[in-house]
Amino acid sequence: MVRVGILGATGYAGIELVRILSAHKGVKLTMLVSQTYKDMKISEVYPSLRGVCDIVCEELDSDKAAANCDVVFTALPHGASKEVIPALYEKGLTVIDLSGDFRYNDKDVYAKWYNQEHSSPELLDVSVYGLPELHREEIKKTRLIGNPGCYTTCSIMGLAALLANGAVETKNIIIDAKSGVSGAGRGLGLDYHFCECTENMKAYKIGTHRHTSEIEQELSLIAKEDITLSFTPHLVPMKRGILATIYANLKKPYTKDELIAMVKDFYKNEYFVRVYDKGLPETNHVAGSNFIDIGLEVDERLNRVVVVSAIDNLIKGAAGQAVQNMNLIFGFEETEGLTNAGLYL
Query: What residues are labeled active site?
Result: 150
Cα radius of gyration rounded to whole Å, the chain: 20
- How far is residue 176's CA from residue 204's CA, in Å, rounded to a whole number? 11
- How far is residue 107's CA from residue 212's CA, in Å, rounded to a whole number? 16
CA 48 to chain centre: 24
Contact assessment for residue 292 and residue 343, using Cβ atoms and an 8 Å cutoff: no
Contact assessment for residue 153 and residue 134, using Cβ atoms and an 8 Å cutoff: no
Compute the 3-state secondary structure of the chain and give helix, strand, coil in percent, each to the nearest 5.
Answer: 35, 20, 45
C-alpha closest to that of 231 among 220, 246, 241 = 246
Strand positions, DSSP E, the chain: 2-7, 27-33, 71-74, 94-97, 128-129, 144-146, 174-179, 202-203, 230-235, 242-249, 273-275, 292-299, 304-311
- How far is residue 271's CA from residue 175's CA, in Å, rounded to a whole number? 25
Sheet holding 174-179, edge to edge: 202-203, 230-235, 174-179, 242-249, 304-311, 292-299, 273-275
